[in-house]
Amino acid sequence: MSTYRVIEVAPDGSLRPSERELVEPGPGQVRIRVESCGICHSDSLAVHEHPDSEVGRVPGHEAVGFIDAVGAGVQRWEAGQRVGVGFLGGNCGICDSCRRGEFVTCTDQPWTGVTVDGGYAEVIYARATGLVAIPDGLSSTEAAPLLCAGFTTFNALLKGRPTPGSLVAVQGIGGLGHLGVQYAARMGVRVAAVARGTLKADLAFKLGADHYIDASATDSGEELKKLGSAEVIVATAASGSSMTPLIAGLATGGRLVVVGASEEPISVSTTELIFGDAVIGGSLTGSSIENEDNLKFAAAQGIRAVIEPAPLLEAAGAYDRMMSGDARFRMVLTVDEPQPV
């Protein structure tokens, strides 16, 4: 096989099938035969109109498959290993951030599916430093959405540093939040799920929530106060304005960890910050070894995304379903035996 199939961004911003030449991985890289790739809202960073002279990007940063070739200088990894590639495509190891051990803020790190080709394909090339070993307890389809959606909420909870038995709130029960509830419930805390309406209440309880707050009918911050106030709130909804009321529900010294990207600002008074000793911050996934911790935890605790699988060549429709909000809750592309277009 000299070529492999990809789904690339066409000049008009649509997704279309194409093919790429199969080459050997470069120094420090591996070549992976993709089995599954999740579709994430952040894929929209790559899906836009571009000039005809520009090669269309292949989106996708939740790719799982088997290494089939290893480039020069690669250690630890070898052909036959099942690995994943997340949004952060591998640190350089030599910039100032890397020298300080801050691999997430590496200044020479590719964004998989955005600045380099991603996993909507039969084959992906990746830096060895960005690889994540996949535990045997997870299928490739199960592991794919955990590489980003799962990892994002897992690390956000760890950054919040909840104590056992404390109250933790997860705002938004969608692609991120439905995983956040599961992770929080397995960490030994009381979980309050916060969403608009009551349609997701039964699901939230099935996923492990102890309480459900309808943010469209009540003041979510006041409701959290009634439950004893939240030590940690993980905000996953893509709406800054919906996060503002949550701040009043933080316990003294509590943390609001934002992972839902939005252009809307969060409004907070200085008195809330000062007298509440509150911390508001964001969280951008994490390092590849931290992602392995995430997958091991998910495999051991039975944490799984609710997914809708779709064949690779139906990526355009699956992407549209994700962007429309109709997906329940993660779309995952599955790749059959690689064939030329």
CATH for 249: 3.40.50.720
Task: Choose one of 248, 266, 282: the last residue of a domain.
Answer: 282
Exposure string over 159-186, b if 16+ CB within 10 A, otherwise e: bbebeeebbbbbbbbbbbbbbbbbbbbb
- Would you state the pLDDT for residue 1? 74
- Would you state the pLDDT for residue 77? 98
339 located within any domain: no
- Would you state the pLDDT for residue 341? 35
292 located within any domain: no
- With bands split at pLDDT 50, 70 and 90, how would you rate the model's confidence at 337? low
- Residue 140 makes CB contacts below 8 A (sequence gap 6+) with 35, 36, 64, 65, 82, 134
Question: Do 158 and 195 have their domain in common?
Answer: yes
Residue at token pair 């779309």: 331
- With bands split at pLDDT 50, 70 and 90, how would you rate the model's confidence at 336? confident
196-219 average pLDDT score: 97
Question: Model pTM?
Answer: 0.95
Question: Do 116 and 185 have their domain in common?
Answer: no
159 located within any domain: yes
Question: Do 23 and 119 have their domain in common?
Answer: yes
CA dihedral (171, 176, 182, 187) in degrees, to 10, reads -80
Q: Which domain holds residue 156?
A: 149-282
294 located within any domain: no
Question: Do 226 and 313 have their domain in common?
Answer: no
- Tens-digit pLDDT profile for residues 103-129: 999 999 999 999 999 999 999 999 999
Question: Do 7 and 121 have their domain in common?
Answer: yes
Residue 295 in this model has a pLDDT that exceeds 70: yes
Residue 131: enclosing H or E segment and its boundaries?
strand 131-133
- Would you state the pLDDT for residue 125? 98
- Tens-digit pLDDT profile for residues 223-244: 999 999 999 999 999 899 999 9
139 located within any domain: no
Reading the block at residue 18, the tokens are 């194409």
180-208 average pLDDT score: 97
- Would you state the pLDDT for residue 240? 93
- Tens-digit pLDDT profile for residues 66-100: 999 999 999 999 999 999 999 999 999 999 999 99
160 located within any domain: yes
Question: Do 273 and 310 have their domain in common?
Answer: no
Question: Do 79 and 168 have their domain in common?
Answer: no
Exposure string over 291-314, b if 16+ CB within 10 A, otherwise e: bbbbbebbbeeebbbebeebebee
- Tens-digit pLDDT profile for residues 273-292: 999 999 999 999 999 999 99
Residue 158 in this model has a pLDDT that exceeds 70: yes
Cα 339 from chain centre: 29
Question: Do 79 and 13 have their domain in common?
Answer: yes
Instruction: State the angle between helix axes of 151-160 and 288-301 in degrees (0 to 180), rounded to the nearest 10.
Output: 100
CATH of the domain at 20: 3.90.180.10
Contact 57, 117 (CB under 8 A): yes
Question: Do 177 and 237 have their domain in common?
Answer: yes
- With bands split at pLDDT 50, 70 and 90, how would you rate the model's confidence at 338? very low
Question: Do 204 and 319 have their domain in common?
Answer: no
- Tens-digit pLDDT profile for residues 3-37: 999 999 999 999 999 999 999 999 999 999 999 99
Question: Do 117 and 82 have their domain in common?
Answer: yes
- Would you state the pLDDT for residue 204? 98
Question: Do 113 and 238 have their domain in common?
Answer: no
289 located within any domain: no
328-336 average pLDDT score: 94
Residue at token pair 């200044």: 107
Q: How many domains does the chain have?
A: 2
327-336 average pLDDT score: 94
107 located within any domain: yes
